[in-house]
Chains A and B, each alone.
Chain A
Amino acid sequence: NAGVMQNPRHLVRRRGQEARLRCSPMKGHSHVYWYRQLPEEGLKFMVYLQKENIIDESGMPKERFSAEFPKEGPSILRIQQVVRGDSAAYFCASSSQGMPYEQYFGPGTRLTVT
Chain B
Amino acid sequence: GQQVMQIPQYQHVQEGEDFTTYCNSSTTLSNIQWYKQRPGGHPVFLIQLVKSGEVKKQKRLTFQFGEAKKNSSLHITATQTTDVGTYFCAGNYGQNFVFGPGTRLSVLP
A residues sitting closer than 8 Å to B (CB atoms) are 33, 35, 40-45, 48, 55-56, 58-59, 91, 93, 99-100, 102-108
Interface of B is mostly: strand
B residues sitting closer than 8 Å to A (CB atoms) are 30-31, 33, 35, 41-45, 48, 88, 90, 92, 94-102, 104
- State which of B31, B44, B96, B100 has its C-beta within 8 Å of the C-beta of A58: B96
**Between A and B, how many residue pairs show CB distances below 8 Å?**
57
**Are B43's CB and A59's CB within 8 A?**
no
Q: How far does the Cβ of B38 sit from chain A's closest Cβ, in whole Å?
A: 12
Q: Taking A91-B43, A107-B42 as contacts, is the C-beta distance between A99 and B92 under 8 angstroms? A: yes
Q: How far does the Cβ of A104 sit from chain B's closest Cβ, in whole Å?
A: 7
Q: Taking A42-B99, A44-B99 as contacts, is the C-beta distance between A100 and B45 under 8 angstroms? A: no
CA–CA, A108 to B38, complex, Å?
A: 13
- Residues from chain B with Cβ under 8 Å of A35 in the complex: 99
